[in-house]
Amino acid sequence: MTFYVTTPIYYVNDVPHIGHAYTTVIADVLHRYHKLFGDDSFFLTGTDEHGQKVQAAAEKRGLSPQAHCDELCVRFQEAWEDLNIQHDVFMRTTYPYHAKVVQECLQELFEKGDIYAHEYEGWYSVSEEIFYTEKDLVDGKSPMGKEVTKISEKNYFFKMSRYQEALIAYIEQHPQFIQPDGKRSEVLGFLRQPLQDLCISRPKARLSWGIEIPFDKDFVTYVWFDALLNYCSAIGLKQGPERQKNFNHYWPHTVHLLGKDILITHTVYWTTMLMALGLPLPKQIFAHGWWLNEDGGKMSKSEGKVVSPLDMKNLVGTDPFRYFLIRETVLGNDASFSPHIVVNRINSELANNLGNLFSRITNLVEKYYDSKKPSEHGLLPQTKSIQELALTTAHKVQQEILNMAPQAAVGAVIDLLSATNKFIDEIAPWKLVKEDKDKTGECLSVCLEVLRIAAILLSPVMPEKCASILSQLGVHGTPQLADAKVWGRLMDGAEIKKGEILFPRITLP
């Protein structure tokens, strides 16, 4: 299977925060799961570098916009390195090849009659870089509550309205196209109103930092029109036969992940642009929820309540932080964020469950079996049920990932680990070993197999910790799902290494 996952490309001016980290970690985890399944997976993230806000910020710093972007995009690159993100491409809209693709697309749509010039009067929100009509405004502000100013100018428009009916029909015929279902209904609701054409230019007199419109040198391209095309330019659209082959390979096996705030730009602007360009629509547009403060309020920059992902990572470690982001909430739902919530989740599921199981078992194997894996003899009634649970868990994880439910995938592994901890408590190997070494050995051997399977299944979420579990069990090489679907891969007598505590309990300062 071919899988192409994208995050939004982030505004280069922003300081990476929990929201950016969230989308990026989900994408990374899905990408790594698909690789675990043996799929051909490609993962794009990057930065959105044109527009008024970037131009203004560069001016303020006395830098050229390009120098400003070159400097700032590094913050994202470093943040993703710190969170162990394995993207295949870090896309930047200031790459010259991207500008060429955008210009070719504009030219094509202009020649086709899908772009036209028009004298325009309306309201503009600088912070969102979006035009509104009079009737869009709510109490004199944008629907998102942002300040707007009135402007009147010539601009170029994309005939978005021409594709409205086709888009509605497509969404209705493809229930999986926009997910979750609630968001799909929201978009269909939005499309019940007549769709306005989209203003896709900005006069250079007002904004020069953008991609020049190929048929009118006095204008640059509207940032969203430019930015959305990155998903196609990055993989080779309109760059010659070789690159086109790559494009055709990954497109449209695409899942766009994004926050619900940018649902309409993706489901309406982007999809109608693709329709106009005669390109197939992506497989899925998936909107995730928001991280809220503990009191349910939005984590907004203006309130100074935005959490830096790197601070959190420094507090709890990269893998546990990644685990938290995936495990805490169903993809699509909002969730609360606070250091306490993070630490409780990590202590209860990683320290007390997985970490505790691993240290109990490796200690006992070292102490009573000379650090060698004991054998199974078919002596314990529970062995079979744990075995079956482990193997069905591997299938369940795969199914949940294909359903875009990583939280449930991880939950299935946690259930397996809880059942295994319960099994040890029942058997009490630390007592039984004095009476029956074969039965005890079987109990430990079963637990070691569970740990091997669990570590494979959790490796996309916690790559480093799982690699360390597997290596202590003597398993080397790239983890693969196929190995988690088979019981008994650990050899009797294999050396089991007891390591440092995997997940030390965290106490907040």
CA–CA distance, 485 with 94 (Å, rounded to integer): 45
Q: Give CA angle at 489 (488, 492), nearest 5°.
A: 75
Interface residue with ligand MSP among 40, 59, 261, 464 (CB under 6 A) is: 261
Strand partners for 372: 495
Interface with ligand MSP includes 92 (CB under 6 A)? no
Q: Sketch the per residue contact string, 18 through 47, with ligand MSP: x for CB under 6 A, - otherwise.
A: xxx-xx------------------------
Q: How far apart are CB 284 and ligand MSP at their closest, in Å?
A: 15
Q: How far apart are CB 11 and ligand MSP at their closest, in Å?
A: 4
DSSP type of residue 6: E
H or E element at residue 42: strand 40-48
Contact criterion met (CB below 8 Å) for 231 and 6: yes
Q: How far apart are CB 508 and ligand MSP at their closest, in Å?
A: 21
Compute how many other C-beta atoms are within 10 angstroms of the C-beta atom of residue 375: 14
Interface with ligand MSP includes 14 (CB under 6 A)? yes
Binders of ligand MSP among residues 294 to 323 (CB under 6 A) are: 299
Interface residue with ligand MSP among 3, 4, 11, 225 (CB under 6 A) is: 11
Binders of ligand MSP among residues 98 to 127 (CB under 6 A) are: none
Binders of ligand MSP among residues 376 to 405 (CB under 6 A) are: none
CA–CA distance, 105 with 269 (Å, rounded to integer): 14
Q: How many residues make contact with ligand MSP (CB under 6 A)?
A: 20
Interface residue with ligand MSP among 4, 10, 43, 80 (CB under 6 A) is: 10
CA–CA distance, 184 with 175 (Å, rounded to integer): 8
SS3 84: coil
CA–CA distance, 380 with 271 (Å, rounded to integer): 58
Interface with ligand MSP includes 52 (CB under 6 A)? no
Interface with ligand MSP includes 429 (CB under 6 A)? no
Q: How far apart are CB 203 and ligand MSP at their closest, in Å?
A: 22
SS3 506: coil
Piece in contact with ligand MSP (CB under 6 A), picked from 95-103, 258-266, 396-404, 410-418: 258-266
Interface with ligand MSP includes 291 (CB under 6 A)? yes
- Our CB check for ligand MSP shows the closer of 299 and 390 to be 299
Strand partners for 424: none
CA–CA distance, 502 with 504 (Å, rounded to integer): 6
CA–CA distance, 259 with 148 (Å, rounded to integer): 23
Piece in contact with ligand MSP (CB under 6 A), picked from 8-16, 193-201, 471-479, 483-491: 8-16
CA–CA distance, 250 with 158 (Å, rounded to integer): 26
Interface residue with ligand MSP among 262, 315, 419, 467 (CB under 6 A) is: 262
Contact criterion met (CB below 8 Å) for 451 and 390: no
- Our CB check for ligand MSP shows the closer of 227 and 502 to be 227
Contact criterion met (CB below 8 Å) for 266 and 285: yes
CA–CA distance, 162 with 196 (Å, rounded to integer): 10
Interface with ligand MSP includes 225 (CB under 6 A)? no
Q: Find all residues with CB under 8 Å of 227, minimum gap 6, and list them.
A: 9, 48, 50, 93
- Our CB check for ligand MSP shows the closer of 18 and 73 to be 18
Interface with ligand MSP includes 9 (CB under 6 A)? yes
Interface with ligand MSP includes 228 (CB under 6 A)? yes
Q: How far apart are CB 20 and ligand MSP at their closest, in Å?
A: 5
* Interface residue list for ligand MSP (CB under 6 A): 8-11, 14, 18-20, 22-23, 48, 227-228, 258-259, 261-262, 290-291, 299
